[in-house]
Amino acid sequence: MNVRTRSSAIIGTLCLAATLAFTSASAVPPQDTAGVAPVALKKVATAQNPSAGAAGPGGTVWLAERAGTVRVLGPHGLGKPVLDISKETTTDGERGLLGIAFDRKFAHFYISYTDLEGTSTVDEFAVRHGKIRPETRRTVLTQTQPYANHNGGDIKVGPDGYLYIALGDGGSGGDPHGNGQNLGTLLGKLLRIDPRGGKPYAIPADNPFVGDPNARDEIWAYGLRNPWRFSFDSGTGDLLIGDVGQSAWEEIDWAPADSKGGENYGWAQMEGNHPFREGTEPANHVPPVHEYGRGGLGCSVTGGYVYRGKAIPELRGQYVFSDYCDGTLRALRMKDGEVTGVSDLGVNGGEVVSFVQGGNGELYVLDIGGTVARLVPA
């Protein structure tokens, strides 16, 4: 199945230009046909502007709809909403319900959304017998946003059990407030907190900037423009971030499972491997493992997952990602943190806004226009 739709329900200014020529980062080989896995997309449901998803209890897949509802994917499509915060969120710009996650025991459910004032908010619910307990809801973290774009919003519980929260640089264009390199703000960062260790949360003692009076303790990594989607490799624990570029370069960043954090991915001094507006490369800049330029139809990288399912053996171990404007699914083959091959998988997911990894490792592709499709063997 080749899904291709165009919808006006774009996440605001997530994509400001149209272009895509998948050129490689330095030392990264050009896209090739070697090792290309035979895949297809099978439509499994239709949602109302699906924006994010997570593996749920009992082998279920839970999907967030941008306006504020959460529904569970079943054999016959999506069920009725199990959560509805649509009266508490806004969908102007790039806002809405942007991320959901479970802890490792499926005892707590987390949502990441922008409230009616546009403030990025992470809330927690207790889960019992696979069902959300609304009366247990509490707010874990908030961050005011100066603009309606680059809010980030993705959340994941890492292999270490801590909650990771991605926040963009605050928006507008060119990082006018210098948030990416400013360790005194949570904007333009990947955060790492312990939501169950304190009220409203605790800081893991081994976070990289704990004790630094000039830095926020919550910060795990910085120098990010809009880390719209990130994931952990369920096989290795490695971290991969799809960071949306400004005007010329889209990038994918990587950190090994044994990273101690503190990575500086360069924004807004750098865009990918390139100085941004005559910026100076920071001495501690961690360059992307892959970048591509805007020479065709792409405009906004959509980070995905390293495939660890069983349905497509040829794809195992490869990082699958896409671009919101181009929609083509691509895969990176990697070894020891270096990309050894880039493949076009030959299928198009439409306006790909997110990927979801089921508990069995299989991948789902979300088209903001409504299509929910599963990656299957061709």
At 336-352, the pLDDT tens digits run 999 999 999 999 999 99
How high is the pLDDT of residue 297?
73
How much is the average pLDDT of 119-133?
A: 97
How much is the average pLDDT of 92-110?
A: 97
Contact at 8 Å (CB) between 108 and 127? yes
- First vs last C-alpha separation in the chain: 9
Query: CA torsion, points 349, 21, 251, 358, in degrees to nearest 10?
Result: 20
Q: Are strands 31-32 and 77-78 parallel, antiparallel or unpaired?
A: unpaired
**DSSP state at residue 285:** B
How high is the pLDDT of residue 295?
78
- Is it the case that residue 27 has pLDDT exceeding 80? no
- Is it the case that residue 311 has pLDDT exceeding 90? yes
Cα–Cα distance between 268 and 281 in angstroms, integer?
10
Per the listing, tokens 């893991």 go with: 204
How high is the pLDDT of residue 35?
61
Contact at 8 Å (CB) between 338 and 348? no
Q: Which residue has the higher pLDDT, 17 or 117?
A: 117
pTM to 2 decimals? Answer: 0.92
Percentage of the chain with pLDDT > 70? Answer: 91
Lowest model confidence (mean pLDDT) among 27-41, 266-280, 284-298: 27-41
Q: Position 124: which residue type?
A: E
Length of the chain: 378
Give the model confidence (pLDDT) of 155-186 as tens digits. 999 999 999 999 999 999 999 999 999 999 99
Report which of 343, 340, 345, 344 is spatially closest to residue 29, judged by C-alpha positions.
340
Contact at 8 Å (CB) between 65 and 366? no
Strands lying side by side in the sheet with 352-357: 39-46, 371-377, 363-367, 352-357
Q: List, in order, residues 6 or more apart from 36 with CB less than 8 Å away.
A: 314, 331, 343, 344, 345, 346
**DSSP state at residue 23:** P
Cα–Cα distance between 315 and 369 in angstroms, integer?
26
User: Average pLDDT, whole number, for the chain?
Assistant: 91
**DSSP state at residue 89:** B
